[in-house]
Amino acid sequence: MAQWITPVLLVFSGAMALPPPWVPEMNSTHACDEYYSKGECSFEDTPFMHESCSSLSGFMMLLQTTMMARCDVADPCRRFETDEIEEYEAFDFIIVGAGVAGPVIARRLADHVPFWKVLLIEAGPPEPSMTAFPGFAFNAVNTSLDWSYKTEPTRPHPTACLETGGVCTWPRGKMVSGSGGMYGMMYVRGHPEVFNRWARAGNKGWSYDEIEHYFERAEDVEVPGMTSGSEKRITGENGPLKIKYYDHRPEFTEEVLKAAAELGYKTSRLAGEDSTGFMIAPMIIEDGIRGTTSRLYLRPIAHRPNLKILTHAQVTRIVKENWDGEARGVELIDRKGTRKIIRADKEIILTAGAIGSPQILLNSGIGPKKDLEELGIPVWEDLPVGHNLHNHVSYGIKMSINDTYYETITVDAVEKFLHNRTGPLTSTGLTQVTAFLESSFTTPGVPDIQVFFDGFSSKCPMLGVKDECPGGTVGSCPGRRELVARPTTAIVKTRGVLKLRSKDPLDRPLLYPNYFEDEQDLKVLLEGIRKVEEMIDTKTMKKWDLRFEETNFTACSRYHFGTDAYWECMIRTQTGPENHQAGTCKMGPSRDPTAVVDPELRVHGIPNIRVADASIYPEVPNANPTASIVMIAEKAADMIGNTWIGM
């Protein structure tokens, strides 16, 4: 059998070993393996495949054990998280949330001034080794690494997710790397017009021309122009994010682009003002491994003395200084269940995401006065925290093609990864293809529909053999391969609200997305479905016999398949809430009654609390939000540094 099936079994210790002195310069896998095997570089890993797969096969168990034992995957010698901290220990800056934005700001502040003490706090565990594989990109969803939020039905009548009683599920990462450890790794900035609308609303300094260099500061692109549309760079140096195309592509990815070309669409380098069409998307990936901001920003500065990462610690509220009304620290509950207060001498920066950040503010008494008083929470600042909640929304069209349906993750695929970092483990399959299209409702040239594709990937293969069929059988596999196209409303009109459920800071918040309350969102999505139909009718797709797989639900059975009424019913029944929640701490000038933070990202009325994540979006960009969240974090780090350097 393959060599990798003789793994070194490791018991992962919760204790953090002292790093060897050569760690920052360590490039040798052999050297890492030597120290790892001696226990000199240990960290607490989190296996989760048993949660992701209803039945964890021997193949998957062995794959997980082997990969977690590999030093070049686990990367233990560049880990420096801890789950212990002294009460009332003081830092200059406390950053709450180690998802996408938090690691960026932590790295930049630690770089700015060597004697600034920076604390990054995360509610979940260190980034698990098994999230590193693009081939298992979404396996952490619905595990202990996922907050798995549930929305509330729209009142008075549910308008979406009717299949589950009007309740939608929102996956959100609960680990170092956050949702960045459980998404498809796509890196797209979004159309400049969206950012220009931010600026026109009074957010000085946030037009696309003014923020473009912050995108560039983060990017190390494989192909010039792949993210910006221009081969010219504003900044001279490459950034930490390794952005490239996957090396592994199923043959069908190119067929999708051929079909798009038949329809007259552009099929490469969708960026900047020219972003309508289909493309193989740029991804954040390094040497076949998922690129997260925690991996790419923090690990290169492992064991920097002025930076500490605290895990398994949930921040419950910000502590107020009574004499001047400013923030002086955070209250948290650590792994042992102990409440502690940690002091911040300069600023507290919330990067806990569009759900976590407003929840912390509300629990601190920063939010709508009426709502806080009803719960008996003392009001610190009366602001519309939790309002402006919005999210991209999609519908998954089930389709199939004439192709034998084999599993993609096999022993051979693992061998390819181990030998030269290629093969299906280093790719998300058909998910690397995306489209940005325009409905009849949008400003010409500004796409308001994004289409995602799913297929040619495995979640929980049973046997790992070459001819394995879905379900773990071998031999006569289905002659049709299942695919999904997910048209998505990328510029949404509907706004919802986040509220506290109770004054218990650990209670889940109430989430009212109000999907399709503005029916334009539904009509745009319907046009997206029609555009997928156009692709099905191309010569290229007919060669594959691409066709819809009709889904029958009692609620929609009275409508003829394919009619507008049928699709509208299906959209409301099987709504696809995307994982792009935004807007709950909206950025805007002081004259804007709907704003929570100012253009410097400071909470209005409390200058030493900032928010720097997707919650500050006045309007979510019309693309996957990761790139713009990193941009926000880069800009925030500059603004924070400029405030305090020299003081």
> Please, what is the Cα angle at 336 between 335 and 341, to 5 degrees?
80
Q: Is the pLDDT score of 23 beyond 90?
A: no
Distance of CA 114 to the CA centre of its chain: 30
Structural contact between residues 320 and 365, judged by C-beta atoms closer than 8 angstroms: yes
pLDDT band, very low/low/confident/very high, at 31 (cuts 50, 70, 90): low
3-state secondary structure of 323: coil
Q: What is the pLDDT of residues 115-126, one digit of tens each?
A: 999 999 999 999
At 482, the pLDDT band (50, 70, 90 cuts) reads very high
Q: What's the CA gap between 359 and 361, in Å, rounded?
A: 5
The pLDDT of residue 33 is 63
Cβ-contact 100, 122 below 8 angstroms: no
Catalytic residue numbers read 580
pLDDT above 50 (res 396):
yes
Question: Residue 22 has what pLDDT?
Answer: 29
Q: Minimal CA–CA distance to 471: which of 479, 455, 460?
A: 460
Among 70, 23, 609, 53, CA closest to 315: 609
- Would you say residue 26 has pLDDT above 90? no
CA distances to 30, 64, 214, 406, 478 from 471, rounded to whole Å, are 38, 19, 46, 10, 11
pLDDT at 41: 83
Q: How distant, in Å, are the alpha carbons of 265, 532, 536 from that of 484?
A: 20, 11, 12
Q: Compute and round to an integer the Cα radius of gyration of the chain.
A: 24
Alpha-carbon distance 474 to 468, whole Å?
A: 5
> How many residues are there in the chain?
647
Least confident of 224-238, 468-482, 585-599: 224-238
State how far the Cα of 229 lies from the Cα of 172, in Å rounded to an integer.
31
- Residues paired with 379 in a beta bridge: none
For residue 43, the 8-state DSSP code is -
Checking if the pLDDT of 11 tops 50, the result is: no
Closest CA to 491 of 397, 564, 574, 578: 578
**Tens digit of pLDDT for each residue in 163-221?**
999 999 999 999 999 999 999 999 999 999 999 999 999 999 999 999 999 999 999 99
pLDDT tens, position by position, 350-361: 999 999 999 999
First to last CA, the chain: 64
The whole-number pLDDT of residue 30 equals 56
Report all structural domains of the chain as residue ranges with CATH numbers, in order of start: 78-127+189-218+292-361+381-388+583-646 (3.50.50.60)
Average pLDDT for the chain: 92
Q: How much is the average pLDDT of 480-485?
A: 96
Nearest one of 96, 90, 99 to 117, comparing CA atoms: 90
Annotated binding-site members: 315
Q: Is the pLDDT of residue 36 over 90?
A: no
pLDDT for res 428: 97
The predicted structure's pLDDT at residue 27: 46
Query: What 3-state DSSP class applies to 400?
Result: strand
- 418 vs 247: CA distance, rounded Å: 15
Q: In this structure, what token pair is assigned to residue 196?
A: 């220009």
Instruction: Give 284-328 pLDDT, tens digit per residue.
Output: 999 999 999 999 999 999 889 999 999 999 999 999 988 788 999
Give CA–CA dist 160/158, Å, rounded.
6
What pLDDT score does 19 carry?
Answer: 35
Report the C-alpha gap between 571 and 393 in whole angstroms: 10
Q: Is the peptide bond before 125 cis (omega within 30 degrees of 0)?
A: no
Question: Which residues belong to the annotated binding site for FAD?
Answer: 315
What is the phi/psi pair of residue 66, to 5°?
A: -65, -45
pLDDT band for 272, please (50, 70, 90 cuts).
very high
pLDDT of residue 321: 87
What is the 3 state secondary structure string of 253-277?
HHHHHHHHHHCCCCCCCCECCECCE
Is the pLDDT score of 40 beyond 80? no
Q: What angle do CA 70, 74, 76 make, to 5 degrees?
A: 110
13 band by pLDDT with thresholds 50, 70 and 90: very low
pLDDT higher than 60, residue 17: no
**pLDDT above 70 as % of the chain:** 93
pLDDT in tens, 214-263: 999 999 999 888 888 776 777 657 999 999 999 999 999 999 999 999 99
Grade residue 34 by pLDDT with cuts at 50, 70 and 90: low
**Per-residue pLDDT for 43 more than 60?**
yes
Task: Tell me the C-alpha distance between 146 and 353, whole Å.
Answer: 13
Is 633's pLDDT higher than 80?
yes
β-strands 90-96, 118-121 pairing: parallel
Q: What average pLDDT score do residues 521-534 get?
A: 99
25: pLDDT strictly greater than 60:
no
Measure the CA–CA gap between 534 and 73, rounded to whole angstroms. 42
Residues 94-102 have a mean pLDDT of: 99
